[in-house]
Each structure stands twice: as C-alpha cells, then as structure tokens.
Amino acid sequence: MKKLNVCQFNTEGYTRTKGEILEKTLTRERVSVVLLQETHLTDETINRLKIPGFTAVSYTGHDKHGIATLVKNELLRNLNTKVVPAEYAIGIKLGEMTLYNVYKPPSQKWPTGILPEANHPAVYAGDFRWGYPRSTAEGTGLSDWADNRDLHLLCDPKDTATFKSKAWGTTSTPDLTFVTRGAKGTPVRAIRRVLEAFPRRQHNPVIVEIGLSIPVIKSPPIPRWNLRKADWNKYRSYVEKTINRIPPKPENYKRFVNLVQKAALNAISRGSRKEYTPCLTKQCETLLEEYEKTGDEETADHLINAMNEERRSRWKEAMENLDFTHSSRKSWCLLRN
C-alpha cells in the first residue's frame, strides 16, 4: 500500500464542536483513516458522529466508552474495505493493510490472547491503558503479547506524552501504536507524531504515517550559493581575464570585490528553495518515482540504502575537509552542527 496517514484520538466524549476542530486537523495532516476512542455514543446516538468527507465504516456503541473507525470517502472508492470483528477493537482491512482501532475500558481485563493475530502488514493503534510509570498485571500481559507476536512499538522517548491528568498533574502515554514485522524482520514502514494538545482534552491526537517517508526540510527564502554546482574553471578564467585591469591600489578594493562577485554570479548557481530533501540524488529521485508508482518494498529498500550511502559519503567528505590550521572557528562550527 502507498502512503497512508492515520489519526488515533481518544475524544473523551465526541461532540459536534470537537468534530469541527478535528476536521481542521485531519485536513492539515492529510489523514485518510480516523481511529476514535471513548466516543460516548450509543447505537441510538451514533448518527451524531459526522466528519465531512469521512464515512464511519464500523463502531461499537457505549454511553461511557465506545470506539469508531472512519475512512475517507476517496479511499473507500479506490480500495476494497472489510471489517474484522474483535473484542476491545475494530479491525478493518484496506487492501493488504489491516488496521485495528483498540480501546480497553479501565474497569475490564484483557481477554486471553489480548488481540487477534493479523497477517503482515498490520497496525494496532489506540488507547491500550498501558504506558504508566507503575507496572501492572495488565501491562505485563500486553507486553508479553507484543513480544510473542514480534510486534514493533512505534515510540520515541523524546515524543510528547499523549495524556495529561488534570486531577493529578501527571503525564503518561497510554495511546500506543504497534506494527507487525515482515519475513525479513522489517517492521511496517511508519512514523508516529504526537500533535499539540486538543482544546480542553487530556489526550493528544496522534498521527501515524504509514509508508515510506522521505524527510523534507523547509528552508527560509534566503538566496544561497550552490557551491556543489559551481563551474570553478569558468570562475578562474573570468577573474584572471579581468583582474589585470584593476591596479593593485587600496582605493581599488571595491572594484576588486565587484569583480569577485560578478565572477561568482557567472559561474556559481544561486537561488533559494522553499523545501528540499537532503541527499536526494538523481538516482534516488528515479527510485522514489518508481516506488510511488509501484509501491514495491524492494525499491524502497534500494532508495533508503542509496540515500544512506550519500549521507555517509558527504559525512566523510566533511570530516576530511576539516582544517584547523587556518580557521579553527569554521571547523568547530562544523563539528557542532
């Protein structure tokens, strides 16, 4: 499957106002699947769950708990969707990908086996009621389940906590995301981001980007010299041809500076990019285009390896060019960066 953005969010009771705020988040993050927990909507009130552009493919009604999975209408038209029933979860199959929307009520215990085993690729996301500082039997059982299924937990210790208790003033991360591993032991390609706090809610929405993610850096609109593409022979030729016209006198310093600048303008590319991907060579661009068309995992592996080789090559070049003999300040700045 090609890139798919999923939003998991414990709403602590769905309302029309929350839906309007959530809609803006989904549009900004280009979300295609929404996994909601604690909707507090019963079978009689589930019709209140309306987000423009999305269809609720499955839900479990409850006045204090409740979960619902919504899929973007465009995705429903292009993929075969199948609902996979499970206890404490809603599973949907979108093409080859299986997504489980998980929520365990705090007063209940995990069933035997925790959650059903899904074929690779699959994602388990939701409020697992796990991730608190103290250890519990429920948490131990969940940890064993993940280990036995060889699941990979998407987690970065630097991520913001997904839950902040107003009563106790503590933070924790019960909103988790597990992904399956393939035959080679490689987990589903995905990254997880915790968004900023939702208005008057204790839980933060979480975005899971499934698929190959290439980092894009947004740079300020400041013109820069692209020294990697400089034509130094052309630069040297222009300077040597013109410099004899400038007598070597102090009052001609500005004329010399203008000469250097003009030679640079003629021989060195200059401009600004709103956004760019570091180490994306021509070969990498070709592989990226091929992956976007086919979604082939081997192509993705070749692309990542090629970008890693380019990063490694640039690192070696930077280290070999370190020179403390003339200007140690420049070298120390490079090392800090």
pLDDT tens digits, 22-78: 999 999 999 999 999 999 999 999 999 999 999 999 999 999 899 999 999 999 888
Mean pLDDT score, 230-257 = 92
Distances (CA, A) of 190 to 21, 246, 277: 25, 60, 18
Number of domains in the chain: 2
Domain boundary among 192, 210, 228: 210
**The pTM is what?**
0.73
Residue 118 has pLDDT above 70, yes or no: yes
For residues 176 and 324, state if they share a domain. no
Of 210, 229, 257, the residue that ends a domain is 210
**Maximum Cα–Cα distance for the chain, whole Å?**
91
- Which ranges of 51-201 would DSSP assign to H, the alpha helix? 73-78, 137-148
Identify whether residues 9 and 144 lie together within a single domain: yes
CB 145 within 8 A of CB 178: no
What residues contact 61, with CB distance under 8 A and at least 6 apart?
Answer: 41, 42, 43, 44, 45, 46
Task: Give the E-state strand segments of 211-252 in sequence order.
Answer: 217-218, 224-226
Are 321 and 233 in the same domain?
yes
pLDDT at 239: 92
What band does 297 get if pLDDT is binned at 50, 70 and 90? confident
- Domain range enclosing 238: 219-336
293, containing H or E segment: helix 282-294
Name the percent of the chain lying above pLDDT 70.
98
State whether 144 and 280 are in the same domain. Answer: no
Residue 126's nearest CA partner among 18, 37, 195, 19 is: 37
How far, in Å, are 102, 255, 258 from residue 249 at the CA level?
78, 10, 15
Q: Residue 313's pLDDT is what?
A: 92
| Residue 62, C-beta contacts closer than 8 angstroms, at least 6 positions apart | 39, 40, 41, 42
Which of these, 177, 217, 212, lies nearest to 194 by C-alpha position? 177
Rg (the chain; Cα; Å): 27
Query: 159 and 45: one domain?
Result: yes
- Secondary structure (3-state) at 145: helix
* pLDDT value of position 79: 80
Nearest to 235, CA basis, from 269, 266, 271: 266
Q: Are residues 68 and 123 part of one domain?
A: yes
Average pLDDT score over residue span 228-232: 87
pLDDT digits (tens, 9 = 90+) for 125-178: 999 977 566 777 778 888 899 999 999 999 887 888 898 888 888 888 899 999
